[in-house]
Structure 1
């Protein structure tokens, strides 16, 4: 995290030399709570911005009662200057956005990184054109896996179950597996699993452990179906109103935070999974030790997810996307598709 401190120190000096005395205000709403693995990187970035002359007012969706799915609209109207956005949950406002992380396309972090990098420019161009916002940092929560409160040995066992979903393409996968998708935001999942509103849920090992899902589930099936891409998005009017120096400091800080958050997604989920399933679990950290059953992932199930992605997820997404954004299928083929060796006919 020393990179954040270097940015803040350099920018503080720059602002002093250029005579900028008044702090630049920023209203941030975020989903990253203190117990989450992603919190330290964001907190360090906020601290670096504060030292560089930004007056950051930080709110959390959960604390103020705002649904994650409404984040993009609130940012677009200027209610907030920056917001953490769960891309899949706001894609109801524009299906094109979900093209960055469609189910079954990028199931490990290396593949996802190549897809995100390929799609970034097109993603931001659409955000700017339609919503007046841009993504200052794009990052994943990590591999999205299955946790169930019932016996599970393969994807076949999801047939007939109610399973938490939070994106349209995830719902398509679940329907093709015979499950009933139940659309729930993250804070709604624990009580839904507890009450039997849903039997299973999909999220990352880190999020499920810190969210205490192992208290209300018994089996963990670490078959990754996506990466749950998030973004720190900013209102363009706010961004364009920054001085040249302040904007440079902001963008450099966001780039450093993005790199840290990718590192978290790549390197912490194994520890969280071990903690959830009775394995080694470091003491004094953010993770809690549980004794879930860890279910071995089969090659047949990996192939099944890939097949459903090609035969159902991609064409269904393309049809919805073309209806609201003609030409988006070709954009996807030229970006994510090219990076992942896929093409939608």
Structure 2
């Protein structure tokens, strides 16, 4: 019988093509991504969404991106969700999620960093230990660490920090609660979406957030005094489920690490540049260009105020956090002293 070599060659070619296609499909990794809250448009629409859309264009990745509020995820649940693999990548508000492990709040304890440059030093000092703890405790890989911006107070009837005595101040992390208590105020825990009405109705006299976030939420409509004292910097991160990370090839891991570092840089740039404009807009300066302009009073913050914050941080914030953290992770304060403490000059001594 005469063999039809042309048909055989065609059949082999088709088989090989299908095999290659099947292999490529098998190697494609699906990433279910939960981003920041949709109201943070500069971060979500300006950085996150384009970033993950670009990743989705890769032949080896299939990325599904949604904002946290679009799918009803609570920020405080992020670490548990990433640990279980409910999602592959999550944008995490670390101060809120740290209730599951206080060690993570150590990257952004209230009162420790006086400005963004110092906060950058804190992040770099603790990054390796942060990643190590994240992998061990929550089965997650650290991809980014970046600040939302300086967390400052929008108040009513405040001419100086001394006027915070007996004021009700909205906060959102444990260490921030202890710092405002040390300044004489009473901390009130509220979801961001609840703050406008709380300020309007007097449930809270002040509220803490980044200048751009407060401007976007129209807090200057219901407050009259802007207090430019950074209490913390609302450090955020992007984490990947460790099982998902380990399924990636070495090349994929290297490429994604580089890509996420570039996104991290963009987020740091927003924290520095956009919030400066928001401050100008909150107090009605002519240089205001990217936010709604208001006419809040700018409260004067002198050197003595910073000294007072440092004292409260050393005496009330750090020891309480250290005890809470050591109860779960006995090496916690030692790790913090060797990293953040070395970078900032603070030390936690519980003896």
TM-score normalised to structure 2 length = 0.88
User: In the alignment, does 2:82 pair up with 1:75?
Assistant: yes
Name whichever of 312-321 and 293-302 sits farther off.
293-302
Which residue number in structure 1 is paired with residue 280 of structure 2?
A: 274
What is the distance in 2 between the residues matched to 1:25 and 1:34? 26
Name whichever of 42-51 and 302-311 sits farther off.
42-51
Point out the structure with max Rg over C-alpha.
2
Where do residues 236-275 of structure 1 align in structure 2 (5 Å cutoff)? Answer: 236-275=242-281
What is the distance in 1 between the residues matched to 2:33 and 2:83? 13
Which residue number in structure 2 is paired with residue 166 of structure 1?
A: 172
Does structure 2 conserve the Cα–Cα contact (< 8 Å) formed by 1:62 and 1:187?
no
Q: Shift in Å at residue 233 of structure 1?
A: 1.1
**May I ask how many residue pairs the two structures share in their alignment?**
325
Q: Shift in Å at residue 196 of structure 1?
A: 2.5
Does structure 2 conserve the Cα–Cα contact (< 8 Å) formed by 1:49 and 1:249?
no
User: In the alignment, does 2:157 pair up with 1:151?
Assistant: yes
Does structure 2 conserve the Cα–Cα contact (< 8 Å) formed by 1:52 and 1:249?
no
What is the distance in 2 between the residues matched to 1:52 and 1:290? 44
Which residue number in structure 2 is paired with residue 9 of structure 1?
A: none
User: In the alignment, does 2:78 pair up with 1:48?
Assistant: no
What is the distance in 2 between the residues matched to 1:62 and 1:217? 26
1:314 pairs, out of 311, 318, 329, with: 318
The change in CA–CA distance for 1:193 and 1:23 in structure 2 (over 3 A counts) is: farther
TM-score normalised to structure 1 length = 0.89
2:143 match: secondary structure: strand
Which residue number in structure 2 is paired with residue 227 of structure 1?
A: 233
2:123 pairs, out of 116, 128, 133, with: 116
Which residue number in structure 1 is paired with residue 338 of structure 2?
A: 334
2:41 match: secondary structure: coil
Q: Which runs of 5 or more structure 1 residues have no equivalent in the other structure?
A: 1-15
Q: Shift in Å at residue 344 of structure 1?
A: 1.2
Which residue number in structure 2 is paired with residue 31 of structure 1?
A: 36
Listed one character per residue, the Cα deviations across residues 215-248 of structure 1 (whole Å, up to 9, x for unaligned) are 2222101011211110011110111112333323
Which residue number in structure 1 is paired with residue 138 of structure 2?
A: 131
Which residue number in structure 2 is paired with residue 4 of structure 1?
A: none
Q: Shift in Å at residue 206 of structure 1?
A: 1.4
Q: Which runs of 5 or more structure 2 residues have no equivalent in the other structure?
A: 1-19
Q: Which has the higher contact order (CA 8 A, sep 6+)?
A: 1
What is the distance in 2 between the residues matched to 1:135 and 1:185? 26
Detail structure 1 runs of 4+ shifted over 6 Å in the superposition.
Answer: none
Does structure 2 conserve the Cα–Cα contact (< 8 Å) formed by 1:154 and 1:301?
no
